Amino acid sequence: MSAAENKEAAKAFYDLMFNQSKPAEAIERFAGDDYIQHNPEVADGKQEFIKYFDRMASEYPGKRVTFKRAIAEGNFVVLHCRQKWPGDEEYAGIDIFRFDDQGRIVEHWDVLQIVPEKSANDNTMF
């Protein structure tokens, strides 16, 4: 798969599991045989991913992610995201996905930061 195809696949995967709350379908359509997770809140494996995001969907209905940037190099895709959660919580996030040679997602890292009310500069986090 090309870097551009991997970029589109990463965004489709994220949209399906996060915005549409369909983690099982996202895993079936986009994940490889093994799924390695580096987020300490989520266990390794496809079933653990599904279990975690099913719980998130029930606890936080209406959560949304928008993609601000997508960067791809080789088998890696980086998504710069804005996450909006029910209530006033908003996060800036970076998600990194590794694809196998068949174009399937096999590994994930992420970092999140709450968007602060005040900033020492006039720039946004996006």
CA atoms within 13 A on the CB side of 126: 19
Q: Is there a domain that residue 70 lies in?
A: yes
In a domain, 36, yes or no: yes
Q: Note the pLDDT of residue 88.
A: 79
Residue 124 lies in a domain: no
**What is the CATH number for 49?**
3.10.450.50
Per-residue pLDDT at 89: 85
Domain count for the chain: 1
120 found inside a domain? no
Question: Which pLDDT belongs to residue 48?
Answer: 96
Instruction: Look at residue 94 and tell me if it is in a domain.
Output: yes
Q: pLDDT truncated to tens, each residue of the chain (126 aa)?
A: 899 999 999 999 999 999 999 999 999 999 999 999 999 999 999 999 999 999 999 999 999 999 999 999 999 999 999 999 998 789 999 999 999 999 999 999 999 999 998 999 999 999
Within a domain: 119: no
Q: How far apart are CA 9 and CA 29, in angstroms?
A: 9
**Residue 67: per-residue pLDDT:** 98
Segments forming the whole domain that contains residue 10: 3-114
